[in-house]
Structure 1
Amino acid sequence: MIKKNDLFEAEITAMTAEGSGICRADGMAVFVPGTAVGDRCVVRVVKVLKKYAFGRLEELLTPSPDRTTPDCPIAGPCGGCVYRHITYEAELKIKTQRVRDALERIGGFANIPMEPILGAPSRTRYRNKCQLPIGLSKNGEMQMGFYAVNSHRIIDTHTCLLQPEVFDRAAEAFRAWQKLSGESIYDEAAHSGVLRHLYMRCGEKSGEVLVCIVANGAKLHGEDLLVKMLREAVPEITGIVLNINRERTNVVLGRELRTLWGKPTIRDTLCRLEFEISPHAFYQVNRTQAEALYNKAAEYAGLTGAETLLDLYCGTGTIGLSMASRAKKLIGAEIIPSAVENARKNAAHNHVTNAEFLCGDAKDAARILYERGERPDVIVIDPPRKGCDAAVITTIAAMRPTRVVYVSSDPATLARDLKQFTAENYNIEAVTPVDMFPGTAHVETVCLLSKLNAKQHIEVDIHMDELDLTDAEKKATYSEIKEYVLEHTGLKVSSLYIAQVKQKYGIIERENYNKPKSDDAKQPKCPPDKEKAIKEALKHFGMI
C-alpha cells in the first residue's frame, strides 16, 4: 500500500477533468499535475485517500510526444493554466475526450454524434477581463497577481499570457502609483486597509479600456495622480472608476461605483451587435470564441424566420439577441432582475424590436406563454455549471419545442441532463465541444436535441365511454383535452375534473358519466389552476 512521500516510476495514461495526469501505484489511481499522457516519470506521493492519491512530478524520465516547453514561468504555481506544457492539438484531444467520456459514462450514451471541437485561433491574450487580488508580501510590499491553487496565497504576477498586453501596462502604472501614494493594502483577516483588487475590462473590437480599483473605502489617496499615471501608461483608456466594497466577503465587486475619470462603461461588438459593458455586467471573456459558440448554437437552432425562440437562463440576452434577426419572435427568461434590465437595454440599443425579456424561471415563462396562447418552436438553454433542475427539463418538455439547443459549461452536468431529456422523448442530434478558454481545463459544449417523431412514437389512451359522444364532445376527446392542457401548462388533469368544468359551462354529459358509486361518496373538486387550464382547452376546441 502506498503512503505519503513514497517514490515510484509510472507512465501517465489519462487525464482528469481538472487537467492532472493519471497513473497507478499498487492498483490505486494517482493524480499528478503538470504531466502529459505518455510521460514516463518518477512520482512522489503527497497525499493518500481511501480510493486514490495525489502525486508530484519528481523526475521526467521519458517525455510524452505531446510535450512542449511552457511559455509561462508561473503556470505551475498559478494553476490557472493546466495545459501550457503540451501542444494545442493535444489539449483539444483531451477536451474532446472529456466530453465524450462524460456522455458515455454519466449519460450512458453510445454512438454519440460528435462534431470536431471548435479550437481557438490563439491560446494567448484572449481574455477581455482581469481580476487581480492585492495583498502584502512578507517584506511588507504590495503584491498583485493570482491566487495559488486551492489557496488565497497571491502569486505576484507582472504579466499573464491569457490577458492583453494593455492590462500589463495598466497594472504596472497602478503599482507605481501605490508606491508614490502610499495607499494601504487590504488585509483579509483583519478587514483593514484599502486596496483589494485591480479589475480591468477591454473591448476587443472597440479597443476601449476600463480600469476599476476595488477598495475598502470611498476615497483613495492621490486620485488625481492615479488618473494621470494610468492615462499616460495606457492611452487607450476610456474610463477609471472606484468600486466601493466594504463587505467581509470573497465577492470581488461591491455595489457602489464612483467614476474618477472618463466613462464607467466600455463598448464592444459581438455577432454584429454592440454591447455596453459595465464592471458588473456579464460579457463573454473570450469574444472570438463566443462568436464561434453562438454561431454553432444558431446553426443548431435552424431558424427560418417563422419561429418563436425562447432563451432560458438568458442573462443579459447575448445568445438570444444574436439569433433574433432569424426568428419571428425572441422571448428571454432570466431570474435575476438586473440581468433582465440589461437584456432589455441591449435589445433597445441594437434596435431589436421582436424581443421581450421576462423576469422569472422556466415555469414562469411557460405559464405566460400558455396564457397568451403561444408555444416556443425552439428553446435555447445556457444554465450555470450545476446544469438544469429536473423540474426545468420537465417544463421544457411540456412546452414541446421541436428543437432544444443546450449550451453547457460542464460536460458532467450536461450528460446528466441529456439523460433526462431523452427520457422525455428528445433525441441527441449533434454535439460540438468548444474551447472557450485555451490553456485551462474548461470546455464548453453545444448540443442539439430534437423532439422524437410523433408518427414513430404514439401514446394511446382510450376510454370506452368516449366512443359514444354528444355533439359537443365530438369536438375533442378527453384524451385530447388532457394532452392540450399538459402541453400548454405542464398540468395533468383527470377525466373527473374535465367533466366538472364541462358541466359548469353547460356541456351536457351522458347519464351517470363519472358519477360516484354511492350518493354519499365525496368527489374532489377541480382546483382553480386546473379549471382555468381546462377552460382554455375547451375554448381552443370550440366547445365554449
Structure 2
Amino acid sequence: MPMMITNQPSPECWQQGQLIEVMITDLSDSGDGVGRLGNRVVFVPDTVTGDRALVRLMRVKPNYATGKLHQLLVESPNRVRPRCIVADKCGGCQWQHVSWDYQQLAKQNQVIQALKRIGGFSEPAVAPILTTDSPLGYRNKATYPLKRSATGSVQAGYYQKGSHQLINLNQCPVQDQRLNPLLGEIKQDIQQLGWSIYNESRHQGRLRHLSLQIGQRTGEMLLTLVTTDLNLKDLDVQGQTWLNRYPQLVGVCVNHNP
C-alpha cells in the first residue's frame, strides 16, 4: 500500500530529512527528475517525467532542493526496468530507468531549451535527434577504479552516486559488450599476481585504475593500467600473456600517475 502524506510541508518550510510528495514534470541535463512545488524546484535522481513520488529532502537551498526517492506512488509510462542489476546504486549512468523513446524526446528538448535560454533563440530550428539502434553497448572506453574488498579480493567498478563507495562489476551493459570478458578475467589476474591496490584513505598501494578501450569498427582493444609507480612484478610477462590470450588486444599501456 503506497504511503501517503497527510500534512504536506509547504515549500517555504522545507527542511532536510522531510518527506514530500511531488509530481515529476521534467528531466534535468544530468537525467535527474525535476519536480516543482510553489516557487521551489526539487531534483530527484532515479525518477522520470510522469512519476508521482514520495521524496526525502537531502539538501535544501533558497530556490531549490535535492531529494532521494523514498517510494514511487504512481509509476510513469516513461519508466522501464533497468537492464543493469546495480543501476540504482552505480554512478556509471543515469538514464537506464527512462524508456528509449522518451530519452530521445527529453534530450532533444534539452538542446532546444539550451538554445533558448543560453543562445537567446526564440524558436530554434532543431532537426530530429539522430539515434543508435540500442541505448546499450555504446561506450567504447571504460575506466574503472580498483580497490580491495574487506576479504582481500580485487574489485573494479564505478563509484556509488555521490560517494567513493565502489560498486563491483563483472560486466556493464552500456559498454561495448566485447570488453566484458576482459573485466572479470583481468581482475582475477591482478588478484593472482598479488599487485597492491591503491588505498585512497592511506595513500598506499600501486594500482589505481583499469582502463579498457575498443575501436568500434576495427575491434582492436587497448588495456591501460593506471599506477602510482612502475614497479609491478612481472609486468612485462603479464602484458605479453594478455596479448597472447586476447587476439584483438593490440596494446598494454601503463599510465604513471604518482
Q: Do both share a fold (TM > 0.5)?
A: yes
Partner of 2:184: 172
Q: Output the CA distance in 2 between the equivalents of 1:175 and 1:63.
A: 38
Kept in 2: contact 1:48–1:54 (CA 8 A): yes
Stretches of structure 1 that go unaligned for 5 or more consecutive residues are 247-544
Where does residue 40 of structure 2 map in the other structure?
A: 28
The residue that corresponds to 2:221 in the other structure is 209
Amino acid at match of 1:209: M
Match of residue 150 from structure 1: 162
| Aligned equivalents of 1:98, 1:48: Cα separation in 2 | 25
Cα deviation for residue 84 of structure 1 reads 0.7
Which structure: greater strand fraction? 2
Q: Is the 8 A contact 2:51 2:75 kept in 1?
A: yes
Q: What are the ranges of 5 or more consecutive residues in structure 2 without an aligned counterpart? A: 1-12
Size of the alignment, in residue pairs?
Answer: 246
What is the CA distance between 1:131 and its match in structure 2? Answer: 0.9
Counterpart secondary structure, 1:115: coil
* Per-residue deviation, residues 358-406 of structure 1 (Å, max 9, x unmatched): xxxxxxxxxxxxxxxxxxxxxxxxxxxxxxxxxxxxxxxxxxxxxxxxx
Residue 253 of structure 2: aligned partner: 241
CA RMSD of aligned residues (A): 2.0
- Whether 2:64 is the aligned partner of 1:52: answer yes
* Partners of 1:166 and 1:234 within 8 A in 2: no
1:131 to 133, 143, 150: 143
Superposition pairs of residues 321-332 of structure 1, within 5 angstroms: none
Q: Secondary structure at the match of 1:124?
A: coil
Q: 1:230 aligns to what SS in structure 2?
A: helix
Instruction: Using structure 1 for the length normalisation, give the TM-score.
Output: 0.43
CA distance in structure 2 between the aligned counterparts of 1:164 and 1:233, rounded to whole angstroms: 19
8 Å contact from structure 2 (residues 154, 188) kept in 1: no
Structure 1 SS opposite 2:89: helix
1:109-508 → structure 2 map (5 Å cutoff): 109-223=121-235, 226-227=238-239, 230-231=242-243, 233-246=245-258
Match of 1:101 in 2: 113
Structure 1 runs (4+) greater than 4 angstroms displaced: none
- Choose 1 or 2 for highest CA Rg: 1
In structure 2, how many angstroms separate the alpha carbons of the residues matched to 1:229 and 1:157? 23
Distance 1:203-1:141 versus aligned 2 partners, 3 A rule: same
Match of 1:343 in 2: none
**One-letter amino acid matched to 1:220:** L
Q: How far did residue 225 of structure 1 move? A: 5.6
| Conserved? CA contact 1:170–1:230, under 8 Å | no
**In the alignment, what sits opposite 2:51?**
39
Select between 208-217 and 18-27 the one with higher mean Cα deviation: 18-27
Partner of 1:15: 27
CA distance in 2, matches of 1:88, 1:17: 16
Residue number in structure 2 paired with 1:89: 101
Alpha carbons 1:212, 1:240 under 8 Å: kept: yes
Deviation at 1:231, TM superposition (A): 4.3
| Matches of 2:203 and 2:21, distance apart in 1 | 47
Shift in Å, 1:226: 2.6
Q: Residues 45 and 68 of structure 2 are in contact (CA less than 8 Å); yes or no, is this contact kept in structure 1? A: yes
Q: CA deviation at 1:233?
A: 5.0
Does the 8 A contact of 2:146 with 2:156 survive in 1?
yes
Deviation digits for residues 259-301 of structure 1 (CA, Å, limit 9, x no counterpart): xxxxxxxxxxxxxxxxxxxxxxxxxxxxxxxxxxxxxxxxxxx
- 1:326-362 Cα deviation digits (max 9, x unpaired): xxxxxxxxxxxxxxxxxxxxxxxxxxxxxxxxxxxxx
Number of the residue aligned with 2:9: none
What percent identity do the matched residue pairs reach? 35
Q: Letter of the 1:10 partner, please give it.
A: V
